[in-house]
Amino acid sequence: GAGVSQTPSNKVTEKGKYVELRCDPISGHTALYWYRQSLGQGPEFLIYFQGTGAADDSGLPNDRFFAVRPEGSVSTLKIQRTERGDSAVYLCASSYSGTQTGELFFGEGSRLTVL
């Protein structure tokens, strides 16, 4: 597709459940980012991939959060034992090279609600 695609667009789950959020970046973009956005706030960095490897995961809040990008394209953000505080919009973005000059191309986000 032409843009960054994220699925599902909405996910409602119960506390304690496991959740997977998928991101399909723009073809040819080697850098991929996950951000989290709470209501009324700006996006908060979670993790950055350059190719298949996680180059920087310093934003992941705790070990319940994990992300993979096994073939250097599609990425999955995995959240174990979800908590109500995990409720937010999870945004994926990609860019050409991940260098200082790169603008980020965002998807529409996956809205996660933990009941």
Partner 1 sequence: SQKIEQNSEALNIQEGKTATLTCNYTNYSPAYLQWYRQDPGRGPVFLLLIRENEKEKRKERLKVTFDTTLKQSLFHITASQPADSATYLCALDYGSSNTGKLIFGQGTTLQVKP
Which residues of the chain form contacts with partner 1 (CB under 8 A)? 4, 31, 33, 35, 40-45, 48, 50, 55-56, 91, 93, 95, 97-109
Residue with Cβ nearer partner 1 (71 or 103): 103
State how far the Cα of 54 lies from the Cα of 61, in Å rounded to an integer: 15
User: Which is closer to partner 1, CB of 66 or CB of 105?
Assistant: 105
- Give 39's Cβ-side CA count (13 Å radius): 6
Q: Which residue's CB is nearer to partner 1, number 50 or number 87?
A: 50
Q: Whose CA is closest to 97, among 46, 34, 32?
A: 32
Q: How far is the CB of 18 from partner 1 (least distance, A)?
A: 25
50 and 81 in contact (C-beta within 8 Å)? no
Q: How far is the CB of 16 from partner 1 (least distance, A)?
A: 27
How far apart are CB 81 and partner 1 at their closest, in Å?
Answer: 26
State the Cα–Cα distance between residues 108 and 8, nearest whole angstrom.
10
**Residue 12 or 15: which CB sits closer to partner 1?**
12
Spatial separation of the C-alpha atoms in residues 4 and 92, rounded to whole Å: 7
